[in-house]
């Protein structure tokens, strides 16, 4: 199959047949091209930075979730409780920004649902546009449990480094693309 350069990166996504907000069957076939959904929506730079911060916080929280049982398995109970404490601090940040601790629905096509609340950035102990940040992929040659542990610890360190850079460089401005777009509905064969 020969595709043009613009068609090579399109993604067809089936949404449905059920959706939590619907009281019946809903099935959509959506064509995606990055942030483009049958149109050209530019994500504001502030929204892109906010997304990076949220993605990296989520990255840290998921690694902390993995480390908890790992630490318990090797008999280290005390660090196990510190891990939960640190993960709760990340969830506190999610809750302050989105109203939810987990499963937050924060990203939107064209940006994020709401700007960060006043004082949110100050709650830190001082990727989307990842090419603007200085970070390195973490890896180990070995494939044992210790190597996986070391990679996760190193990845959290890199995540913190990315978040610090994003907090220093975050711009003011819009957090959501506001230009109205008209989407032409077509009948699905």
Using pLDDT thresholds of 50, 70 and 90, give the confidence band for residue 166: very high
What pLDDT is recorded for position 127? 44
Q: Is residue 163 part of a domain?
A: yes
Q: Is 15 domain-assigned?
A: no
Write out pLDDT tens, residues 117-159: 888 877 767 446 878 888 888 989 988 888 888 888 899 899 9
Are 67 and 87 contacting, i.e. CB atoms less than 8 angstroms apart? no
Query: Does 122 map to a domain?
Result: yes
Report the C-alpha dihedral over residues 38, 104, 178, 176, rounded to 10 degrees.
-110
User: Which residues form the domain of 62?
Assistant: 45-169
Is 124 inside a domain boundary?
A: yes
The answer to the question of residue 162 being in a domain is yes
Does residue 175 belong to any structural domain of this protein? no
Looking at per-residue pLDDT, the higher value among 146 and 1 belongs to 146
Count structural domains, the chain. 1
| Contact status, residue 114 vs residue 25, Cβ threshold 8 Å | no
E strand or H helix at 12, and its extent?
strand 11-15
């Amino acid at each position: 199959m020969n595709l043009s350069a613009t068609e090579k990166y399109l993604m067809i996504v089936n949404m449905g047949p059920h959706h939590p907000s619907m009281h019946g069957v809903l099935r959509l076939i959506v064509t995606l091209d990055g942030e483009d959904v049958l149109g050209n929506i530019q994500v504001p730079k502030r929204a892109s930075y906010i997304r990076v911060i949220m993605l990296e916080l989520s990255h840290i929280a998921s690694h902390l979730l993995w480390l908890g049982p790992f630490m318990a398995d090797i008999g280290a109970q005390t660090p196990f409780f510190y891990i939960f404490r640190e993960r709760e601090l990340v969830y506190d940040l999610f809750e302050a920004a989105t109203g939810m601790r987990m499963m937050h629905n924060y990203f939107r096509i064209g940006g994020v649902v709401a700007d960060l609340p006043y004082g949110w950035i100050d709650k830190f102990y001082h990727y989307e546009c990842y090419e603007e940040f200085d970070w390195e992929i973490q890896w180990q040659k070995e494939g044992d449990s210790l190597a996986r542990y070391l990679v996760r610890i190193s990845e959290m360190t890199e995540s913190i480094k990315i978040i610090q850079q994003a907090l220093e460089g975050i711009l003011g401005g819009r957090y959501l693309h506001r230009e109205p777009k008209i989407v032409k509905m077509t009948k699905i064969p």
